[in-house]
Structure 1
Amino acid sequence: MAAADIACGSGDPLWRADLLHLNDWPSGLAAAYLAWRGRQIPTILTVHNLAYQGLFDRSRLPHLGIPDAAFQINGVEFHGKLSFLKAGIFYSSHITTVSSTYAEEITRPEFGCGLDGLLRTRAGEGRLDGIVNGIDESWDPSKDPYLVSPFSANNWRGKRANANDVRKSFGLAVSRGPLFAVVSRLVHQKGVDLTIAAAESIVSQGGQVAVTGRGEARLEYASQALAERHSGSIGVKIGYDEADARRMYAGSDFLLMPSRFEPCGLSQMYAQRFGSLPIAHRTGGLADTIEDGINGFLFGEHSLHRFLDAIRRGLETFGSKSRLTAMRWAAMSRPEGWDRSAAKYQDVYSRACQTAAIAA
């Protein structure tokens, strides 16, 4: 409500917003407040993960200043609940997601979390776009202060030093075999169960796995139990540490990312920038940022069989120095900054402002 008030000029009578950009369910109602006041200020809602919707009991309506008439299918109601996210999608001028593939996926029932019908309508109106995230300039292995040793696409020596540091930190044995990393929330969405199931195959082929993250208790426990069974080959740290994460990207040969769905994903782009090849499910932003066999590996059907096949291709590449070097170079050379994304947001802003001007 405060965001809507400020956008309307209540904070400064000599200034009002040209546009209000909202992110996810916590700010979704701002678009609705503007609509209920009859204000023509355009609103952009970026959906980072449709699964998190902000659902509350309808008894909250009067406390939040929501008109009773808005509690309907063409409003804030979602299966008898008040949905902040639906309010944002329904009342915003335009919706964006954080990758092009995810923008298409959420118009289908299997990914739409019950909102696919409304999102199909918005897509048909030309009011739904996907703009892949970028990563900031600090992700540069040639000058990252967290790394044990810097390196670049033209000088790989420092990568081995970071790998050795990761092995020591995670209690792994000294090895010249492939090192696989998992830097992730340990939740169902991220396909951690597939990673656990695939880990023994990786170890049996001379690989090692380092895992860091926090999430669902059952997956944390299963990851720790796996490490106990394969001491020296699998290491797990529950929690998150920035230095550990950056060294894992820098030291690993592959990043495992078998997400069931992934609105964008940043880990695969961090890994690519640090010369680690992502092995990922072909979904959402993973499909948009990874070229199979060029700068990473993708698998289609979300199954252990297909995941293991992608890992096998990774191991074969590791056995070919020339191919591994070529793929690392391609991964590190991929443009992943914010310039292209910013230009696309500027286009969305311009279109939304033009539409609002015509409506006014």
Structure 2
Amino acid sequence: MADFVKTGGLGEVAGALPRALRRHHDVRILIPGYRQVVERCGEIAVIGHLSGFADIPPCNLGFTETADGLGIYVLLSAELYDRDGTPYGQAGIDFGDNDLRFARLSLAAAELARGADPAWSADLLHLNDWQTALAPAYLAWRGARTPSVLTIHNLAYQGVFPKETLHRIGLPDDAFRMDGVEFYGQLSFLKAGLYYASQVTTVSETYAREITRPESGCGLDGLLRTRAACGQLAGILNGIDESWDPRIDPHLAVRFEAGDWKGKAANAEAVRQGFGLAVSRGPLFAIVSRLVHQKGIDLSLDAAQAILDGGGQLVVMGQGEGRFEHALTALATRHPGQVGVRVGFDEMAARRMFAGSDFLLMPSRFEPCGLAQMYAQRFGSLPIVHATGGLADTVEDEVTGFSFRDASVHGLREAIARALDTFGRKKRLNGMRETAMMSDRTWNGAALDYSALYSRAFGNRAMRAA
């Protein structure tokens, strides 16, 4: 949850969606007591104790509130969660007991639906990704009828563990079957959730269709086709929070609005200075991304020369695979003053990059939703994207950005050529910028869609009980 700790887009969703849903529901969050969470929460009141189960250790259940009154349950277990690194691992390696760490989280969610807090209980669980996906399975095995919605943020991450994990986390032997948690001889947390949840969602309509096909289904396309055929798989596009507004953002060098292109140019100048680029009137391209194969970083590297040959400059910020970090750093070394690279992440610099750049490169091979393209649009930077998943749903070609169908260097170069041509036609460029900036990407629509889905989940519960 971005209020406390995040490793990707899910952190933003977990902070923003519950706040949008509060207009319609009594919403509370459950999160592990990671070191960063405990340090930033301040006072956490212990309101209950959760018993151990199989090899899952017991823990205390804490409760606190954010400054704006959002209720937060915190699992207090130093043994499981008080660690250096990210919530999932350290130095790029997953923690060896992630099966127990996230089985504890899933079981706690199920217990909150069964009275773990004597003052409040969940009527419905909204679960995110494999780390919580065992919750509906625990409910089913205990005979509970609480409905659940499982959202897939990236199907490629499935929480797969050896068969021996079955007994470590207290699953019954008969759960290890095709219609259960078995996945090619191993145990999949995500598959358990996909099978037992009342409703399954993912974070864009296009991605919801893509994952029912073998090429994008990561071995789960058959189960997902079944859920879709029953009307139990939906795509609901993520939004972005209201801080992404160039008129009020305190991170920017100069705040601006649609039509104020001098303000946007001032942010471009700040970015150039910050990355050591030469003064230029040419287009500024940006990459703000995890530096991994999924994000098409190799395609951007191969297409970079086309940007430079067209009079453009390139700034990059992110971290990820060492091969890409090294290749980008080498590119900057070969082209001083024209390419700037920063390995790591800085919030202020990222926002200025969105505000100052003319184009954002995002040639992801697959992208369930994506947020960077929406941030860019809000700040008048036109995304250049591979038409997949949420990128296809948010970028209209030559209206709010540029898209290409074939995930190849050729496809990306062709889109860059069209962007460079548009940069030379200011009336057209500014028209596209204004259209992109006026796109409604708030969470309000998504909150209404989820509310409707919750109602369907209650209906599914009644039908299953019958």
User: TM-score, length-normalised on structure 1?
Assistant: 0.98
Query: Given that residues 259 and 430 in structure 2 are in contact (C-alpha distance below 8 angstroms), is that contact kept between their aligned partners in structure 1?
Result: no
Map of 1:207 onto structure 2 = 312
Taking only aligned residues, the RMSD between alpha carbons, in angstroms, comes to 0.9
Give 1:65-80 correspondences, 5 Å limit.
65-80=170-185
Aligned amino acid, residue 341 of structure 1? A
| Aligned residues between the structures | 359
Write the deviation string for residues 230-251 of structure 1: whole angstroms up to 9, x where unpaired.
Answer: 1111110000000010000000
Are 2:125 and 1:20 aligned? Answer: yes
Deviation at 1:178, TM superposition (A): 0.1
Are 2:122 and 1:10 aligned? Answer: no
SS of 1:206 mapped into structure 2: coil
Map of 2:396 onto structure 1 = 291
Which residue, out of 430, 440, 445, partners 1:325? 430
Map of 1:42 onto structure 2 = 147
**Distance in 2 separating the partners of 1:221 and 1:110:** 30
SS of 2:113 mapped into structure 1: helix
Are 2:293 and 1:188 aligned? Answer: yes
SS of 1:110 mapped into structure 2: coil
Range with bigger deviation, 37-46 or 260-269: 37-46
Write the deviation string for residues 40-80 of structure 1: whole angstroms up to 9, x where unpaired.
Answer: 11110000000011111111211211111101111111111
Aligned amino acid, residue 127 of structure 2? L
Identity %: 62
SS of 1:247 mapped into structure 2: helix
- Structure number with higher relative contact order (C-alpha < 8 Å, ≥ 6 residues apart): 1
Are 2:415 and 1:310 aligned? Answer: yes
Query: Given that residues 181 and 254 in structure 1 are in contact (C-alpha distance below 8 angstroms), is that contact kept between their aligned partners in structure 2?
Result: yes
Map of 2:200 onto structure 1 = 95
**Distance in 2 separating the partners of 1:84 and 1:217:** 29
Which residue, out of 74, 84, 87, partners 2:189? 84
SS of 1:44 mapped into structure 2: strand
Range with bigger deviation, 250-259 or 350-359: 350-359
User: TM-score, length-normalised on structure 2?
Assistant: 0.76
Map of 2:259 onto structure 1 = 154
Aligned amino acid, residue 221 of structure 1? H
**Distance in 1 separating the partners of 2:116 and 2:302:** 56
Give 1:125-136 correspondences, 5 Å limit.
125-136=230-241
Map of 1:227 onto structure 2 = 332
Map of 1:253 onto structure 2 = 358
Query: Given that residues 306 and 416 in structure 2 are in contact (C-alpha distance below 8 angstroms), is that contact kept between their aligned partners in structure 1?
Result: no
Deviation at 1:355, TM superposition (A): 2.2
Query: Given that residues 101 and 283 in structure 1 are in contact (C-alpha distance below 8 angstroms), is that contact kept between their aligned partners in structure 2?
Result: yes
Unaligned runs of 5+ residues in structure 2 are 1-106
Write the deviation string for residues 211-246 of structure 1: whole angstroms up to 9, x where unpaired.
Answer: 000000111111111111111111100000000100
Map of 1:107 onto structure 2 = 212
Which residue, out of 440, 446, 458, partners 1:341? 446
Deviation at 1:359, TM superposition (A): 3.5
SS of 2:260 mapped into structure 1: coil
Deviation at 1:15, TM superposition (A): 4.3
Query: Given that residues 18 and 353 in structure 1 are in contact (C-alpha distance below 8 angstroms), is that contact kept between their aligned partners in structure 2?
Result: no
SS of 2:287 mapped into structure 1: strand
SS of 1:61 mapped into structure 2: helix
Query: Given that residues 295 and 363 in structure 2 are in contact (C-alpha distance below 8 angstroms), is that contact kept between their aligned partners in structure 1?
Result: yes
Map of 2:74 onto structure 1 = none
Map of 1:355 onto structure 2 = 460
Deviation at 1:8, TM superposition (A): 1.4
